Structure 1
Amino acid sequence: MPHQREQGERMAVQAEDFTVRPEVLLLEELLDEVRVGRLRVPRFQRPYVWRPDQMLDLYDSIERGFPIGSILVWETSLPLPSLDQVAGIEVPPAPEGTVAYLLDGHQRLSTLFGTLLRRPEPPGSGPDRHWWIYRTLGAPDQREVRFQHWGKNAPPANLLPMQAVLRTMDFLAHARRIARDASTADDTDALVDEAEQVAQRIKAYKVPVVRLQGGDLAHAVEAFSRVNSGGRQISPDQMVSALTYRAESDETLTDRIAAIRESIADSGFGDIVAEPVFQTIVAITGEDDVQGARWTALADRVGNTLDRTVAQAEIALHRAVRFLRYEVGVPVAWLVPYPQQIMLLAVFFHHRPDPEGAQSRELARWFWSTSWATTFVGGNGFQLRRTLHQIRAFATGRTELSLQGQYAQPLPERFDTEDGRVRAFLLWELGHFGQRYGLDGEPIELVELLARSGSAAYRRVVTGVREASAIANRIVLPTPPGTSVRDALLDLPPKRLRSVAVSHAIPPAALARLLADDRDGFIRERTATLVGLEQEFIQETGAELAWESGRENGA
């Protein structure tokens, strides 16, 4: 029993030469490890990406005593290049001997380090203003998030800067400001008391830390994938990035994926997610399972050839993007129905950089067919491997593309651009009806608007009816601030109204309903027209694509 109690107190789990040891640290103690250079952020970590609202939510959770998850660190004597700045603040070099490297918790720890330890400076416009977070003192509703960013000019005296919480002199200086400021002088005692309570809650907050001791990088990454504090596993691209990291290289795989995404965005196509870029790299190595490969074995296999593989993937991805833009008519990245299509097209162009016209036309038909069908719905790993085999065989001339057994999905009832089938409809509608005209009768710069505003470019025509969320109730038509699409259309002179409406695929019957204020009738008439036209296009283009029995008229 004593031996068991000792094990329980140590809370240590031994596996070969790798130990997992949990402990609890005060927040201030944890940040101090970063400040003196004992706790490092390895270079293979993804960059800081948190949004302002995530930063505020973190502080709100801490003040309320809610858990924010554990921090995962790896203690090792192996040399591992790390960042010399955390949240834009310089940190000392790593000490000799055993060093702790942050594996999970980068976003949380950087948020706290950057806001609590940054030296006070006048807030204003600048690259560091998002690190300035304040706690509102004297807020009437204690249930709401009471933290906010401030980066305009001098903040009001009732905003407690987080930079003052851990520094006694800075805290006292702010307390004196509360007493001197005319807007807060009458409530000095109450506001200072509240500020002291906030500071105490932050200082006394305890963070669980899981220390992985010994082992090698593969052990650490495997532990990261199993002991992730957020309840999610490390993403495959992060895992392979860590496992293929080389000290002599200035860039990690994550850095290279980010660079490829930036180069594609710079081409005018917009931002694509990291997943198809990573999967393209994996597929070019010859791997069949781009979703669930044995990542450690893959990293070992591609180690010395990774640079060449990444360069090949970048070239193939740019060819795939050019094909999407100029052969298929996809104007911006967010309208691609399924990210797997980008990867599969890149694999094709890797094997066949300059396809013949007939092959390009067949590839375009494949794109449309898989956009309507269920090929990539639900992340079916078997279907993706099967399609990858087909694409490789088609690119090398060993077989034709076939979609036998696939069915076109009906048009969903709701406008939801997270749905690939909805994006497929929007693509068809953009290409089928061509140029749109604005309220002034001039052409709308459609690609620029879609790239800038994303799905928000699609505005509701009518409101106040049950079917207002229908796809047919959306068009791309900018209006003056505060003016609805319906009101803006009905204010147009009749001749211009007809020409604008036609350019936005509003048929005469639907326009008549709109003029009569029959909102349900407008949606019904436009839906019937659009569904009918899209079905005709599907039947012409998807020669082997059949409509699922009993669902031909779904809308």
Structure 2
Amino acid sequence: MNSNETTTLVKPEVILLENLLREIAEGRLRVPKFQRPFVWRPEQMTQLFDSIDRSYPIGSLLIWETNIHLASLDQIADFPIPAPPTDGRVAYLLDGHQRLSTLFGCLRKTTPNTSSDEQHDWLWEIYRVLGESSDRNQFQHWKKPTEPPENYLPMRSVLRTMDFLTFARRLQEADKFTGRVDLLIDEAEELAQRFKSYQMATVRLVGGDLKQAVTVFSRLNSSGQSMSPDQMVSALTYQNDDTETLADRIKAIQEDVDSDGFGTVAAITVFRSILAVAGEEDVQEARWEVLAERIGERLAESVDKAAASLRRAVAFLKEDVGVPLARLIPYNAQIMLLVAFFNIDSAPSDNKRNTLGKWFWTTSWSGYFAGANTTQIKFALQEMKDFASGTADLDLNGQVARPFPDRFDMRSARIRSFLIWELQRYSDRLDHAGEHIDAVGLLAKLDTGAYRHVMTHGRNASSPANRVIMPTLPGFSIKRTLLDLSGPSGDRVFESHGIPTKAVEKLRGGDTMGFIKERANYLASEERAFISGFGVPLSKKIAADADIDTE
């Protein structure tokens, strides 16, 4: 894929939003297939509209104008886009897909939602609520297959005169807005004018080849870069045919892992794992244009190997270590390093697997990868490869297990390692009726919401000892549910959650603080015994605040 043009001209511009949307509708401004799909959440969409309404800048777009043909999306925001013109240049959107898709889908939509309350039906239905306070976001989705209130201005009407007049006529006919209609229509007209006159900052790249365009992008957008590393390399290695891009393959790998109930492994972690398998030493930082050249020819093979090695790594984490969910892995670097290991040694001996297990627990407890820099990761990667090939051992000397965490925060690797242990240690939890609780399933579904507070406020309320995974009857708090337990059956429920007798006595005596303290001491003692079983040195402190140290 070459061009006769050898240089790329960079032209800053300011373009009316309405003109940009028209270019998309006519097929002249296109989204290349190597871009990530539309992923914005509904609240991000309404925030974008609110920013435009307030005349705030929403960031610049990056457009590449070229006579090179790139495979591009034939749908944007669920609406079909005509084929690109066959004569002359075509413009490709390199940065701004999420923003322009939101605006195109909502402002160019022609018919209201009348089919269902499913998200795919209401996603492009954004309304401006007229006559409300302007100190908060007045834009919202209409999620029902019914007519919205008359003062809900459909954003699809602001660029269409006839649709706007239809809205105004409907508002005038509404009895409940008598005396306010003129004010509401004035407000709607002012908003429509703001959108019609809104201008977007655009950087237009003219000429050159794809490599030059993406290289310019990476340098122009080095701060707050929105194109992820895998998308960058996808663009630079793109072959302009039906072959899957690197970003496509990474998504497929993520779905493969997630389909087994393990949850989603971050795309950047999969990407770095692919680099490690491809033989790259620096998987943290890279010049993408250099990296694409270096691994381009062996990219497909490296992706296949990384996918297979990731499956082995996940199996090891689940079966040998007891990690039930990707969400709980303390550091993403641990996944990448395990992938690098299993790429070299796909069927390790029991001794090696035991060493890997000790390595995982030790680096998790000690915070070994907290804030790890490029040099540390390069060293750890080489050490893991040497261990896999049998030329060296993993050096775990000098690592000390951090104390029991005082604060429950899932952004802490120490909390995640505690939860992995706690889910194993108390795997057969019982509810108030003595029935088994699927703690892992609840955690996968509700995330931190699965752990409910016994004490809802006050000192020590953030302690892990104040959290219990236990569904309750409607209207019943965890504290009330625990207090209602009695007799041998109640004792079994308490025991299944790691709540010792002393803690129960404190709770029943009205001393909730004492309950948390007794349970924390008990859990810390139990966990320290587990840590000691691996021969890992313990901190002299029993408990301490948990660092926020995950990616």
Q: TM-score when scaled to structure 1?
A: 0.93
Give the corresponding residue for 1:11.
Answer: none
Give the corresponding residue for 2:107.
Answer: 116
Give the corresponding residue for 1:149.
Answer: 141
**Structure 1 unaligned runs (5+)?**
1-14
Instruction: Give the SS at the match of 1:135.
Output: strand
Separation of aligned partners in 1, 2:223 and 2:139: 23
**1:286 partnered with 2:279:** yes
Alignment of 1:130-279 (within 5 A): 130-139=123-132, 141-152=133-144, 153-228=146-221, 231-232=224-225, 234-279=227-272
1:226–1:233 CA contact under 8 A, matched in 2: no
Q: Percent identity?
A: 49
Separation of aligned partners in 1, 2:121 and 2:113: 11
Give the corresponding residue for 1:82.
Answer: 72
Q: Name the aligned partner's letter for residue 116 of structure 1.
A: L
Report the CA distance between 1:228 and its aligned residue. 2.6
Report the CA distance between 1:20 and its aligned residue. 1.4
- Aligned pair count reads 537
Instruction: Give the SS at the match of 2:452.
Output: strand
Q: 1:506 aligns with which of 475, 492, 499?
A: 499
Instruction: Give the SS at the match of 1:22.
Output: strand
Q: 2:117 aligns with which of 107, 122, 125?
A: 125
Report the CA distance between 1:552 and its aligned residue. 5.0
Q: 1:30 aligns with which of 14, 20, 23?
A: 20
More moved, 480-489 vs 204-213:
480-489
Give the corresponding residue for 1:355.
Answer: 348
Separation of aligned partners in 2, 1:411 and 1:219: 51
Separation of aligned partners in 1, 2:475 and 2:156: 40
Give the corresponding residue for 2:548.
Answer: none
**1:487 partnered with 2:477:** no
Separation of aligned partners in 2, 1:482 and 1:338: 38
Q: Name the aligned partner's letter for residue 162 of structure 1.
A: M
Give the corresponding residue for 1:102.
Answer: 93
**1:458 partnered with 2:448:** no
Separation of aligned partners in 1, 2:170 and 2:186: 14
Q: Name the aligned partner's letter for residue 101 of structure 2.
A: S
Separation of aligned partners in 1, 2:123 and 2:228: 27
Report the CA distance between 1:246 and its aligned residue. 1.1
Q: Name the aligned partner's letter for residue 497 of structure 1.
A: G
Give the corresponding residue for 1:415.
Answer: 408
Separation of aligned partners in 2, 1:367 and 1:74: 45
Separation of aligned partners in 2, 1:501 and 1:379: 40
Alignment of 1:367-516 (within 5 A): 367-516=360-509
Separation of aligned partners in 1, 2:101 and 2:372: 33
Q: Name the aligned partner's letter for residue 219 of structure 1.
A: Q
Instruction: Give the SS at the match of 2:281.
Output: coil
Separation of aligned partners in 1, 2:63 and 2:399: 47
Separation of aligned partners in 2, 1:378 and 1:229: 21
Report the CA distance between 1:391 and its aligned residue. 1.2
Report the CA distance between 1:223 and its aligned residue. 2.0
2:129–2:139 CA contact under 8 A, matched in 1: yes
- C-alpha RMSD over aligned residues: 1.8
Separation of aligned partners in 1, 2:244 and 2:175: 53
Instruction: Give the SS at the match of 1:102.
Output: strand
Report the CA distance between 1:186 and its aligned residue. 4.2
2:27–2:82 CA contact under 8 A, matched in 1: yes
1:465–1:519 CA contact under 8 A, matched in 2: no
Separation of aligned partners in 2, 1:551 and 1:380: 27
Report the CA distance between 1:536 and its aligned residue. 2.0
Q: Name the aligned partner's letter for residue 40 of structure 2.
A: W
Separation of aligned partners in 2, 1:185 and 1:353: 75
Give the corresponding residue for 1:6.
Answer: none
